[in-house]
Amino acid sequence: MKGIILVGGMGTRLRPLTWDTPKSLVPVLNKPFLEYVLRHLKKHGVDEVILALSNLASPIQECFGDGHDLEMKISYVVEKSALGTGGAIKNAAGDLSGDSFLVLNGDIFSDFDYTDMLKFHRQHRSSATIALTPVDDPTLYGLIETTDSLRVTRFLEKPKAQEVTTNLINAGAYILEPDLLDIIPSETEYSVERQLFPSMLKAGSSVYAFPSSGYWIDIGSPEKYSRLNFDLLCGNVASYGFQNNCDIIVGYNSQIHPTARLEGPVLLGENCVVGSNVTIKGPTVIGSRCRIEEEAFVSTSVIWQGVTVGRGCRFVSGIAADDCALQQGCEIEQAVLGNNVTILKNYKLASGTKVEPRQTIG
Ligand code: GTP
Protein backbone atom coordinates (compact mmCIF):
# COMPACT_ATOMS: atom_id res chain seq x y z
CA MET A 1 0.00 0.00 0.00
CA LYS A 2 1.22 3.51 -0.83
CA GLY A 3 0.71 6.47 1.48
CA ILE A 4 -0.04 10.16 1.22
CA ILE A 5 0.87 12.33 4.20
CA LEU A 6 -0.69 15.77 4.47
CA VAL A 7 1.95 18.18 5.70
CA GLY A 8 0.95 21.46 4.10
CA GLY A 9 -1.09 23.08 6.89
CA MET A 10 -0.24 26.38 8.55
CA GLY A 11 0.28 24.92 12.02
CA THR A 12 -1.41 27.99 13.50
CA ARG A 13 -2.04 26.48 16.91
CA LEU A 14 1.58 25.47 17.32
CA ARG A 15 2.88 28.99 16.74
CA PRO A 16 5.31 30.55 17.51
CA LEU A 17 7.21 27.27 16.94
CA THR A 18 5.79 26.88 13.44
CA TRP A 19 6.38 30.38 12.07
CA ASP A 20 9.54 29.17 10.38
CA THR A 21 9.65 25.45 11.18
CA PRO A 22 6.98 23.25 9.56
CA LYS A 23 4.93 21.29 12.09
CA SER A 24 6.28 18.06 10.60
CA LEU A 25 9.87 19.06 11.38
CA VAL A 26 9.49 20.16 15.00
CA PRO A 27 11.97 18.04 16.95
CA VAL A 28 10.68 15.17 19.04
CA LEU A 29 13.46 13.77 21.21
CA ASN A 30 15.79 15.73 18.93
CA LYS A 31 14.61 14.13 15.68
CA PRO A 32 12.14 15.58 13.16
CA PHE A 33 8.58 14.59 14.06
CA LEU A 34 7.82 13.17 10.64
CA GLU A 35 10.71 10.72 10.84
CA TYR A 36 8.77 8.75 13.49
CA VAL A 37 5.68 8.69 11.30
CA LEU A 38 7.63 7.49 8.26
CA ARG A 39 9.48 4.79 10.18
CA HIS A 40 6.19 3.51 11.58
CA LEU A 41 4.64 3.35 8.11
CA LYS A 42 7.64 1.43 6.85
CA LYS A 43 7.13 -1.16 9.60
CA HIS A 44 3.70 -1.76 8.09
CA GLY A 45 4.99 -2.13 4.55
CA VAL A 46 4.15 1.39 3.43
CA ASP A 47 7.52 2.32 1.98
CA GLU A 48 6.36 4.52 -0.88
CA VAL A 49 5.03 7.82 0.33
CA ILE A 50 3.92 11.08 -1.27
CA LEU A 51 4.17 14.17 0.91
CA ALA A 52 1.48 16.76 0.10
CA LEU A 53 3.11 20.12 0.78
CA SER A 54 2.06 23.73 0.72
CA ASN A 55 3.20 25.99 3.56
CA LEU A 56 7.00 25.81 4.24
CA ALA A 57 7.58 23.09 1.66
CA SER A 58 11.32 23.29 1.00
CA PRO A 59 12.67 22.52 4.50
CA ILE A 60 10.67 19.27 4.41
CA GLN A 61 12.04 18.31 0.99
CA GLU A 62 15.58 19.11 2.12
CA CYS A 63 15.17 17.05 5.28
CA PHE A 64 13.95 13.80 3.72
CA GLY A 65 15.19 14.02 0.11
CA ASP A 66 14.18 10.97 -1.90
CA GLY A 67 13.81 8.88 1.26
CA HIS A 68 17.05 6.98 0.72
CA ASP A 69 18.25 7.38 4.33
CA LEU A 70 15.05 5.75 5.60
CA GLU A 71 15.13 3.13 2.85
CA MET A 72 11.85 4.46 1.52
CA LYS A 73 10.72 6.11 -1.68
CA ILE A 74 9.51 9.62 -0.87
CA SER A 75 8.14 12.07 -3.43
CA TYR A 76 6.62 15.52 -3.05
CA VAL A 77 3.71 17.44 -4.50
CA VAL A 78 3.57 21.14 -3.71
CA GLU A 79 0.26 23.02 -3.90
CA LYS A 80 0.30 26.53 -5.38
CA SER A 81 -2.05 27.56 -2.59
CA ALA A 82 -3.31 25.38 0.27
CA LEU A 83 -6.07 23.07 -1.03
CA GLY A 84 -7.38 21.76 2.30
CA THR A 85 -7.14 18.10 3.29
CA GLY A 86 -9.28 16.73 0.42
CA GLY A 87 -7.88 19.02 -2.28
CA ALA A 88 -4.37 18.04 -1.18
CA ILE A 89 -5.17 14.33 -1.55
CA LYS A 90 -6.59 14.86 -5.04
CA ASN A 91 -3.56 16.90 -6.03
CA ALA A 92 -1.06 14.39 -4.66
CA ALA A 93 -2.74 11.20 -5.79
CA GLY A 94 -2.05 11.75 -9.51
CA ASP A 95 -0.02 8.61 -10.14
CA LEU A 96 -1.51 6.24 -7.56
CA SER A 97 -2.29 3.24 -9.65
CA GLY A 98 -5.61 1.58 -8.91
CA ASP A 99 -4.93 0.34 -5.34
CA SER A 100 -6.32 1.24 -1.93
CA PHE A 101 -4.08 3.90 -0.38
CA LEU A 102 -3.39 5.24 3.09
CA VAL A 103 -3.77 8.91 3.97
CA LEU A 104 -2.42 10.42 7.16
CA ASN A 105 -2.72 13.85 8.69
CA GLY A 106 0.93 14.73 9.10
CA ASP A 107 0.57 15.85 12.70
CA ILE A 108 -0.56 12.61 14.31
CA PHE A 109 1.69 10.23 16.18
CA SER A 110 0.31 6.76 16.74
CA ASP A 111 1.27 3.15 17.00
CA PHE A 112 -1.75 2.06 14.93
CA ASP A 113 -1.57 -1.28 13.20
CA TYR A 114 -2.00 -0.25 9.56
CA THR A 115 -1.56 -3.87 8.47
CA ASP A 116 -4.69 -4.82 10.43
CA MET A 117 -6.49 -1.73 9.22
CA LEU A 118 -5.93 -2.74 5.58
CA LYS A 119 -7.19 -6.25 6.33
CA PHE A 120 -10.31 -4.74 7.94
CA HIS A 121 -10.81 -2.38 4.96
CA ARG A 122 -10.72 -5.30 2.53
CA GLN A 123 -12.90 -7.62 4.64
CA HIS A 124 -15.60 -4.94 4.84
CA ARG A 125 -15.26 -4.00 1.15
CA SER A 126 -15.10 -0.46 2.41
CA SER A 127 -14.74 2.59 0.18
CA ALA A 128 -13.25 4.59 3.00
CA THR A 129 -12.02 3.30 6.36
CA ILE A 130 -11.36 5.85 9.08
CA ALA A 131 -9.21 5.05 12.11
CA LEU A 132 -10.90 5.93 15.39
CA THR A 133 -9.26 6.66 18.67
CA PRO A 134 -10.78 7.31 22.12
CA VAL A 135 -10.09 10.72 23.71
CA ASP A 136 -11.11 12.31 27.02
CA ASP A 137 -12.64 15.40 25.46
CA PRO A 138 -14.19 14.76 22.02
CA THR A 139 -15.49 18.35 21.72
CA LEU A 140 -12.16 19.42 20.20
CA TYR A 141 -12.25 16.83 17.42
CA GLY A 142 -14.40 15.19 14.78
CA LEU A 143 -16.69 12.68 16.43
CA ILE A 144 -17.79 9.55 14.57
CA GLU A 145 -20.84 7.42 15.29
CA THR A 146 -21.15 3.88 13.95
CA THR A 147 -23.46 0.88 13.95
CA ASP A 148 -22.45 -2.21 15.96
CA SER A 149 -20.85 -3.53 12.79
CA LEU A 150 -18.70 -0.36 12.61
CA ARG A 151 -20.39 1.18 9.59
CA VAL A 152 -20.23 4.96 9.99
CA THR A 153 -23.60 6.62 10.47
CA ARG A 154 -22.74 10.19 11.43
CA PHE A 155 -19.92 12.73 11.55
CA LEU A 156 -20.00 15.57 13.98
CA GLU A 157 -17.14 18.09 13.77
CA LYS A 158 -16.22 19.68 17.11
CA PRO A 159 -19.52 18.77 18.85
CA LYS A 160 -20.96 20.70 21.80
CA ALA A 161 -20.74 18.85 25.15
CA GLN A 162 -24.44 17.93 25.05
CA GLU A 163 -24.04 16.44 21.56
CA VAL A 164 -21.31 13.99 22.58
CA THR A 165 -22.53 10.40 22.24
CA THR A 166 -19.17 8.60 22.02
CA ASN A 167 -15.56 9.29 22.93
CA LEU A 168 -14.34 7.91 19.61
CA ILE A 169 -12.95 10.49 17.23
CA ASN A 170 -11.50 10.65 13.74
CA ALA A 171 -7.82 9.90 14.29
CA GLY A 172 -6.70 11.43 10.98
CA ALA A 173 -5.72 8.14 9.29
CA TYR A 174 -7.73 6.78 6.36
CA ILE A 175 -7.60 4.00 3.82
CA LEU A 176 -9.34 5.10 0.65
CA GLU A 177 -10.31 3.49 -2.64
CA PRO A 178 -8.93 5.33 -5.67
CA ASP A 179 -12.35 5.91 -7.29
CA LEU A 180 -13.11 8.39 -4.50
CA LEU A 181 -10.68 10.74 -6.19
CA ASP A 182 -13.34 11.30 -8.86
CA ILE A 183 -15.59 12.92 -6.24
CA ILE A 184 -12.99 15.48 -5.18
CA PRO A 185 -12.82 18.57 -7.41
CA SER A 186 -9.42 19.42 -8.94
CA GLU A 187 -7.42 22.39 -7.75
CA THR A 188 -10.17 23.48 -5.39
CA GLU A 189 -10.05 23.87 -1.65
CA TYR A 190 -11.93 20.85 -0.29
CA SER A 191 -12.10 19.08 3.08
CA VAL A 192 -12.07 15.33 3.63
CA GLU A 193 -13.70 15.62 7.05
CA ARG A 194 -16.34 18.22 6.26
CA GLN A 195 -17.10 17.46 2.62
CA LEU A 196 -15.90 14.11 1.25
CA PHE A 197 -16.96 11.83 4.13
CA PRO A 198 -20.38 13.44 4.76
CA SER A 199 -21.16 13.39 1.03
CA MET A 200 -20.24 9.69 0.90
CA LEU A 201 -22.67 8.96 3.73
CA LYS A 202 -25.41 10.87 1.92
CA ALA A 203 -24.74 8.82 -1.22
CA GLY A 204 -24.91 5.54 0.75
CA SER A 205 -21.26 4.61 0.14
CA SER A 206 -19.65 2.17 2.51
CA VAL A 207 -17.65 4.08 5.09
CA TYR A 208 -16.30 2.03 7.98
CA ALA A 209 -14.51 2.91 11.20
CA PHE A 210 -11.51 1.03 12.48
CA PRO A 211 -11.25 1.47 16.26
CA SER A 212 -7.80 1.48 17.79
CA SER A 213 -6.78 1.44 21.41
CA GLY A 214 -3.10 2.18 20.76
CA TYR A 215 -1.18 5.34 21.58
CA TRP A 216 -2.40 8.40 19.68
CA ILE A 217 -1.75 12.10 19.94
CA ASP A 218 -1.90 15.02 17.53
CA ILE A 219 0.83 17.58 18.07
CA GLY A 220 -1.44 20.48 17.15
CA SER A 221 -0.72 22.58 20.26
CA PRO A 222 2.38 23.30 22.37
CA GLU A 223 0.92 21.32 25.29
CA LYS A 224 0.41 18.22 23.16
CA TYR A 225 3.78 18.64 21.47
CA SER A 226 5.47 18.66 24.90
CA ARG A 227 3.33 15.75 26.04
CA LEU A 228 4.52 13.59 23.14
CA ASN A 229 8.15 14.32 24.01
CA PHE A 230 7.53 13.47 27.65
CA ASP A 231 5.49 10.34 26.91
CA LEU A 232 8.30 8.99 24.74
CA LEU A 233 10.94 9.94 27.26
CA CYS A 234 9.01 8.42 30.16
CA GLY A 235 8.55 5.12 28.32
CA ASN A 236 4.77 5.55 27.96
CA VAL A 237 4.81 4.49 24.30
CA ALA A 238 5.89 0.88 24.42
CA SER A 239 6.52 0.43 20.73
CA TYR A 240 9.04 3.29 20.65
CA GLY A 241 11.66 1.69 22.81
CA PHE A 242 12.09 4.02 25.81
CA GLN A 243 11.39 1.67 28.69
CA ASN A 244 13.13 3.22 31.66
CA ASN A 245 11.59 6.43 32.91
CA CYS A 246 14.58 7.63 34.92
CA ASP A 247 17.23 7.42 32.21
CA ILE A 248 19.70 10.18 31.60
CA ILE A 249 20.93 10.06 28.02
CA VAL A 250 23.86 12.30 27.17
CA GLY A 251 24.84 12.99 23.56
CA TYR A 252 28.35 12.78 22.07
CA ASN A 253 30.88 15.32 23.33
CA SER A 254 28.58 16.94 25.89
CA GLN A 255 30.18 18.04 29.13
CA ILE A 256 28.40 18.03 32.47
CA HIS A 257 30.04 19.67 35.48
CA PRO A 258 30.41 17.22 38.37
CA THR A 259 28.30 19.44 40.67
CA ALA A 260 25.35 19.56 38.20
CA ARG A 261 22.32 17.47 39.18
CA LEU A 262 20.28 15.72 36.50
CA GLU A 263 17.10 13.94 37.57
CA GLY A 264 15.80 11.71 34.77
CA PRO A 265 14.31 11.25 32.40
CA VAL A 266 16.57 13.71 30.64
CA LEU A 267 17.80 13.62 27.06
CA LEU A 268 20.75 15.92 26.39
CA GLY A 269 21.91 16.32 22.79
CA GLU A 270 25.45 16.46 21.39
CA ASN A 271 28.06 19.12 22.13
CA CYS A 272 26.22 20.65 25.09
CA VAL A 273 27.79 22.21 28.16
CA VAL A 274 26.08 21.98 31.56
CA GLY A 275 27.71 24.21 34.17
CA SER A 276 28.33 23.95 37.89
CA ASN A 277 25.41 23.61 40.30
CA VAL A 278 22.88 23.37 37.46
CA THR A 279 19.72 21.37 38.15
CA ILE A 280 17.87 19.69 35.28
CA LYS A 281 14.68 17.87 36.26
CA GLY A 282 12.97 15.49 33.92
CA PRO A 283 11.14 14.95 31.85
CA THR A 284 13.29 17.36 29.87
CA VAL A 285 14.69 17.23 26.35
CA ILE A 286 17.63 19.45 25.37
CA GLY A 287 18.92 19.64 21.80
CA SER A 288 22.50 19.79 20.58
CA ARG A 289 24.89 22.73 21.12
CA CYS A 290 23.03 24.06 24.18
CA ARG A 291 24.71 25.80 27.13
CA ILE A 292 23.05 25.54 30.51
CA GLU A 293 25.14 27.88 32.63
CA GLU A 294 26.01 27.65 36.30
CA GLU A 295 23.26 27.67 38.93
CA ALA A 296 20.50 27.47 36.26
CA PHE A 297 17.37 25.44 36.98
CA VAL A 298 15.54 23.70 34.12
CA SER A 299 12.52 21.47 34.62
CA THR A 300 9.84 19.73 32.52
CA SER A 301 10.83 21.48 29.30
CA VAL A 302 11.67 20.96 25.65
CA ILE A 303 14.67 22.94 24.44
CA TRP A 304 15.77 22.84 20.80
CA GLN A 305 19.31 23.37 19.43
CA GLY A 306 21.83 26.09 20.17
CA VAL A 307 19.95 27.51 23.17
CA THR A 308 21.73 29.27 26.03
CA VAL A 309 20.11 29.22 29.46
CA GLY A 310 22.14 31.81 31.34
CA ARG A 311 23.58 31.72 34.83
CA GLY A 312 20.94 31.38 37.53
CA CYS A 313 17.97 31.28 35.09
CA ARG A 314 14.81 29.35 35.90
CA PHE A 315 13.18 27.70 32.89
CA VAL A 316 10.16 25.63 33.91
CA SER A 317 7.49 23.84 31.85
CA GLY A 318 8.52 25.70 28.70
CA ILE A 319 9.55 25.25 25.10
CA ALA A 320 12.47 27.17 23.59
CA ALA A 321 13.08 26.84 19.84
CA ASP A 322 16.48 27.04 18.09
CA ASP A 323 19.12 29.55 19.15
CA CYS A 324 17.19 31.27 21.95
CA ALA A 325 19.32 33.15 24.48
CA LEU A 326 18.03 33.48 28.03
CA GLN A 327 20.36 35.86 29.75
CA GLN A 328 21.55 35.57 33.33
CA GLY A 329 18.87 35.50 36.01
CA CYS A 330 15.75 35.23 33.78
CA GLU A 331 12.65 33.54 35.16
CA ILE A 332 10.46 31.83 32.60
CA GLU A 333 7.55 29.53 33.29
CA GLN A 334 5.11 27.89 30.86
CA ALA A 335 6.39 30.01 27.98
CA VAL A 336 6.81 29.08 24.33
CA LEU A 337 9.68 30.88 22.62
CA GLY A 338 10.08 30.90 18.82
CA ASN A 339 13.47 30.64 17.07
CA ASN A 340 16.16 33.13 18.08
CA VAL A 341 14.32 34.81 20.95
CA THR A 342 16.43 36.74 23.45
CA ILE A 343 15.25 37.34 27.01
CA LEU A 344 17.34 40.04 28.63
CA LYS A 345 19.11 39.80 31.96
CA ASN A 346 17.02 39.23 35.10
CA TYR A 347 13.72 39.53 33.20
CA LYS A 348 10.71 37.70 34.60
CA LEU A 349 8.46 36.70 31.74
CA ALA A 350 4.72 36.47 32.52
CA SER A 351 3.63 32.85 32.84
CA GLY A 352 2.13 31.40 29.66
CA THR A 353 3.71 33.97 27.31
CA LYS A 354 4.32 33.06 23.67
CA VAL A 355 7.14 34.97 22.02
CA GLU A 356 7.44 35.32 18.23
CA PRO A 357 10.75 34.43 16.58
CA ARG A 358 13.64 36.91 16.69
CA GLN A 359 12.10 39.12 19.42
CA THR A 360 14.14 40.58 22.25
CA ILE A 361 12.19 40.88 25.47
CA GLY A 362 13.12 42.68 28.67
P1 GTP B 1 -3.73 24.54 12.43
O2 GTP B 1 -3.48 25.73 11.55
O3 GTP B 1 -3.20 24.73 13.80
O4 GTP B 1 -5.15 24.03 12.39
O5 GTP B 1 -2.83 23.38 11.85
P6 GTP B 1 -2.85 22.65 10.43
O7 GTP B 1 -3.64 23.35 9.40
O8 GTP B 1 -1.42 22.41 10.11
O9 GTP B 1 -3.44 21.28 10.84
P10 GTP B 1 -4.91 20.68 10.69
O11 GTP B 1 -5.16 19.90 11.91
O12 GTP B 1 -5.87 21.74 10.33
O13 GTP B 1 -4.69 19.72 9.46
C14 GTP B 1 -4.46 18.33 9.60
C15 GTP B 1 -3.30 17.91 8.72
O16 GTP B 1 -3.58 18.24 7.37
C17 GTP B 1 -1.99 18.58 9.09
O18 GTP B 1 -0.97 17.61 9.02
C19 GTP B 1 -1.80 19.64 8.03
O20 GTP B 1 -0.43 19.81 7.69
C21 GTP B 1 -2.55 19.03 6.83
N22 GTP B 1 -3.18 20.06 6.02
C23 GTP B 1 -4.15 20.92 6.39
N24 GTP B 1 -4.50 21.72 5.37
C25 GTP B 1 -3.72 21.34 4.31
C26 GTP B 1 -3.61 21.79 2.98
O27 GTP B 1 -4.28 22.71 2.54
N28 GTP B 1 -2.71 21.17 2.17
C29 GTP B 1 -1.91 20.15 2.64
N30 GTP B 1 -1.04 19.59 1.78
N31 GTP B 1 -2.00 19.70 3.89
C32 GTP B 1 -2.89 20.30 4.73
The CA 171 to ligand 1 mean position distance, Å, reads 14
Length of the chain as a residue count: 362
Mean pLDDT over each residue of the chain, to the nearest integer:
93
Per-residue confidence band for 241, with pLDDT thresholds at 50, 70 and 90: low
In sequence order, the β-bridge partners of residue 170 are 132
Q: Nearest C-alpha to atom 14 of ligand 1 is from which residue?
A: 105
Rg (CA), the chain: 22
Which tens digit of pLDDT belongs to each residue from 85-95? 999 999 998 76
Higher local confidence (pLDDT), 157 or 33: 33
The CA distance from 84 to 192, in Å, is: 8
Q: What is the pLDDT of residue 245?
A: 62
Which tens digit of pLDDT belongs to each residue from 87-124? 999 999 876 767 999 999 999 999 999 999 999 999 99
Which tens digit of pLDDT belongs to each residue from 146-169? 999 999 999 888 889 888 888 889
The CA 314 to ligand 1 mean position distance, Å, reads 34
Whether 243 has a pLDDT exceeding 60, the answer reads: no
Whether 299 has a pLDDT exceeding 90, the answer reads: yes
Per-residue confidence band for 333, with pLDDT thresholds at 50, 70 and 90: very high
Q: Nearest C-alpha to atom 10 of ligand 1 is from which residue?
A: 9
Q: What is the pLDDT of residue 237?
A: 86
Q: How many CA atoms lie within 13 A of 81 on its CB side?
A: 4
Angle between helices 33-43 and 57-64 (to 10 degrees): 50
Do residues 273 and 250 make contact, with C-beta atoms less than 8 angstroms apart? no
**Nearest of 139, 228, 232, 220 to residue 172 by alpha carbon:** 220
> What pTM, to 2 d.p., does this model score?
0.94
Whether the CA torsion 12, 18, 22, 24 is positive or negative: it is negative
Per-residue confidence band for 242, with pLDDT thresholds at 50, 70 and 90: low
Q: What is the pLDDT of residue 50?
A: 95
Q: Considering the chain, what percentage of its residues have pLDDT values greater than 90?
A: 79
- Taking the CA of residue 5 as reference, the ligand 1 atom at the shortest distance is 18
Long-range contacts of 258-261 (CB under 8 A, 24+ apart): 260/292
Q: What is the pLDDT of residue 29?
A: 94
Taking phi over 0 as left and psi of -120 to 50 as alpha, with beta for the rest, 161 belongs to alpha
Of 31, 73, 119, 158, the catalytic one is 158
Count other C-beta atoms under 10 Å from residue 22's C-beta: 26
Q: Furthest-apart CA pair in the chain: how many Å?
A: 68
Mutate to test the pocket of ligand 1, among 4, 7, 53 (most ligand atoms within 8 A of CB): 7
224 catalytic residue (yes or no)? no
Mutate to test the pocket of ligand 1, among 6, 51, 89, 170 (most ligand atoms within 8 A of CB): 6
The CA distance from 215 to 115, in Å, is: 16
Do residues 169 and 146 make contact, with C-beta atoms less than 8 angstroms apart? no
- Bridge-based pairing of strands 291-292 and 279-281 is unpaired
Q: How many CA atoms lie within 13 A of 74 on its CB side?
A: 24
Q: Nearest C-alpha to atom 26 of ligand 1 is from which residue?
A: 84
The CA 21 to ligand 1 mean position distance, Å, reads 14
* Cβ of residue 85 lying under 6 Å from some atom of ligand 1: yes
Which tens digit of pLDDT belongs to each residue from 178-232? 999 889 998 899 999 999 999 999 999 999 999 988 899 999 999 999 999 999 9
* Cβ of residue 142 lying under 6 Å from some atom of ligand 1: no
* Cβ of residue 90 lying under 6 Å from some atom of ligand 1: no
Higher local confidence (pLDDT), 136 or 270: 270
Mutate to test the pocket of ligand 1, among 91, 107, 169, 194 (most ligand atoms within 8 A of CB): 107
The CA distance from 258 to 241, in Å, is: 29
The CA 2 to ligand 1 mean position distance, Å, reads 20
Count other C-beta atoms under 10 Å from residue 251's C-beta: 17
Mean pLDDT of 321-326: 98
